[in-house]
């Protein structure tokens, strides 16, 4: 008989109902009514026209919706606290996040800010400081993504920006798991090619990092992660070439949801530990920062820990057996780099923000990672420190020499 004490435990919880399919957002009014009488509808200013259609749909169904047009693409803590001050006392009882990752994160942050006493930053879970516990219930959240990448539609995470320390922090609270995620591929057909590419690669990175993360036994995170990577390999290029194809958009939306479920159970590792402070220091959008960081991180991982990446070569790429694990890991990273080049995302920080703004950026970035993001570094198959991060960070900023 097996001794079960030597086998790791595993578990899985996803309290989010997923309603997926083209046209699913047409049912938003009925979904919203299940959770409250007065929803706050958060949408980014860039999507004002599309949002108007759904605000009208809610009004026509007799819903007393309160619109909130989000002006900041990556919301700062002052912006969130200020918005909450303006909205308090209006009887809002449910929050709808309609848009990309930052609109959904803003909705989650407001669900907390509208019910708690302290400023929103106190609820971020930082490597160097635990969050303040929530008191009582927060408002229920409904997500309606219009991009496929962040996975915020099914995660308990919300990313915040603190400008004075050029820092990003993440709220990680089961209370903000969305109650319902409405995944409507018809909302995603308007995404431009560059956004489709960078958000799609962000979803890939979530799937990859959750799969190779060494922090705990989580076989279901790996199952979802590997399937999500297969879907991105098979659909991302086609979604860009045929932007109005609902089939490719829906496959990318499914990849994003699977990757989001994977990171809800086993978080991200070194690529996100680099890309988040990179975004805070340079204002490069999250998906793009993740896309340009992934290959350099993996190239520097092969020597110390090739096995996990070799497994992805065999299982995700269904690649043939090669002479050793390092060769298979290299083949996987080559395959990923080929995809990144095919979707036009083979860039460096220098090519995005220019030479002058890259002066001294390597050391500032390393400082920020070591100060604020040391926890996810420990979850990567190779644990990098300030010295071993340096060549990776330089490859990301200037490209390999």
Summarize as ranges the residues that interact with Fe ion (CB under 5 A).
202
Burial class of residue 7, CB neighbours in 10 A (0-12, 13-18, 19+): exposed
CB of 116 to Fe ion, least distance (A): 25
Q: What is the CA radius of gyration of the chain?
A: 21
- Closest approach, Cβ 286 to Fe ion, in A, equals 6
Measured from the CB of residue 53, what is the shortest distance to Fe ion in angstroms? 28
Q: Which residue is nearest to Fe ion (CB)?
A: 202
Measured from the CB atom, the residue of 202 and 328 that comes closer to Fe ion is 202
8 Å CB contact between 175 and 137: yes
Q: Find residue 139's DSSP bridge partners.
A: none
Write out the two tokens for 6. Answer: 């030597």
Q: How far is the CB of 147 from Fe ion (least distance, A)?
A: 12
* Residues contacting 91, CB < 8 A, separation 6+: 37, 38
Q: Identify which of residues 162 and 286 has a Cβ nearer to Fe ion in the complex.
A: 286
What minimum distance in Å lies between the beta carbon of 276 and Fe ion? 8
- Comparison of 202 and 222: residue with beta carbon closer to Fe ion: 202
Nearest approach, Cβ of residue 5 and Fe ion (Å) = 36
| Least distance to Fe ion, CB of residue 227, Å | 18
Nearer to Fe ion, 105 or 202 (CB): 202
CB closer to Fe ion out of 276 and 311: 276
Neighbours of 1 (CB within 10 A): 3
* Among 250, 199, 251, CA closest to 227: 251
Residues β-bridged to residue 129:
126
CB closer to Fe ion, 70 vs 147: 147
* Token pair recorded at residue 274: 């680099």
* Rounded least distance, CB 142 to Fe ion, Å: 21
CB 258 within 8 A of CB 235: no
Nearer to Fe ion, 108 or 310 (CB): 108
User: Cα(232)–Cα(207) distance, rounded to whole angstroms?
Assistant: 10
Residue closer to Fe ion by CB (options 202, 311) is 202
Tell me whether strands 167-172 and 157-162 are parallel, antiparallel or unpaired. Answer: antiparallel
Strand ranges (DSSP E) for 62-109?
66-70, 94-99
Give min distance, CB of 30 to Fe ion, in A: 31
DSSP 34: T
Q: Distance of CA 188 to CAs 79, 282, 346, Å?
A: 27, 27, 23
- Nearest residue to 200 (alpha-carbon basis) of 190, 191, 211, 210: 191
- Rounded distance, CA 203 to CA 392, Å? 21
Let me know: does 290 contact 168? Beta carbons within 8 Å: no
Q: Based on CB atoms, which residue is closest to Fe ion, 63 or 288?
A: 288
- No. of helices (H) and no. of strands (E), the chain: 15, 8
């Amino acid at each position: 008989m097996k001794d079960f004490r030597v086998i790791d435990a595993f578990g899985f919880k996803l309290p989010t109902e997923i309603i997926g399919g083209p046209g699913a957002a047409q049912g938003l009014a009925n979904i919203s009514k299940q959770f409250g009488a007065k929803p706050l509808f958060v949408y980014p200013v860039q999507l004002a026209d599309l949002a108007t259609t759904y605000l009208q749909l809610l009004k026509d169904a007799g819903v007393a919706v309160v619109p909130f047009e989000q002006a900041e693409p990556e919301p700062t803590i002052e912006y969130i606290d200020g918005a909450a001050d303006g909205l308090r006392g209006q009887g809002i009882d449910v929050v709808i996040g309609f848009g990309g990752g930052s609109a959904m994160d803003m909705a989650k942050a407001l669900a907390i800010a509208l019910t708690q006493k302290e400023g929103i930053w106190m609820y971020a879970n930082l490597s160097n400081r635990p969050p303040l516990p929530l008191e009582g219930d927060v408002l229920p959240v409904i997500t309606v993504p219009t991009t496929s990448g962040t996975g915020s539609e099914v995660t308990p995470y919300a990313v915040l920006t603190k400008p004075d320390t050029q820092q990003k922090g993440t709220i990680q609270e089961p209370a903000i798991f969305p109650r319902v995620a409405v995944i409507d591929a018809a909302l995603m057909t308007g995404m431009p090619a560059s956004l489709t590419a960078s958000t799609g690669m962000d979803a890939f990175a979530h799937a990859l990092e959750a799969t190779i993360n060494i922090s705990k036994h989580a076989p279901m995170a790996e199952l979802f992660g590997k399937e999500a990577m297969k879907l991105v390999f098979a659909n991302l290029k086609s979604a860009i070439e045929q932007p109005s194809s609902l089939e490719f958009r829906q496959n990318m939306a499914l990849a994003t949801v699977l990757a989001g479920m994977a990171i809800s159970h086993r978080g991200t590792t070194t690529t996100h530990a680099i890309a988040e402070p990179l975004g805070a220091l340079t204002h490069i959008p999250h998906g793009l920062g993740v896309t340009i960081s992934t290959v350099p991180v993996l190239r520097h991982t092969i020597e110390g820990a090739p096995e996990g990446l070799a497994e992805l070569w065999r299982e995700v790429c269904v690649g043939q057996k090669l002479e050793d694990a390092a060769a298979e890991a290299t083949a996987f990273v080559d395959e990923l780099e080929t995809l990144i080049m095919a979707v036009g995302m083979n860039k460096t920080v220098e090519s995005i923000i220019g030479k002058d703004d890259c002066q001294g950026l390597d050391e500032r970035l390393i400082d920020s990672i070591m100060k604020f993001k040391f926890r996810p570094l420990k979850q990567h198959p190779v644990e990098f420190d300030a010295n071993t991060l340096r060549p990776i960070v330089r490859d990301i900023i200037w490209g390999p020499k």
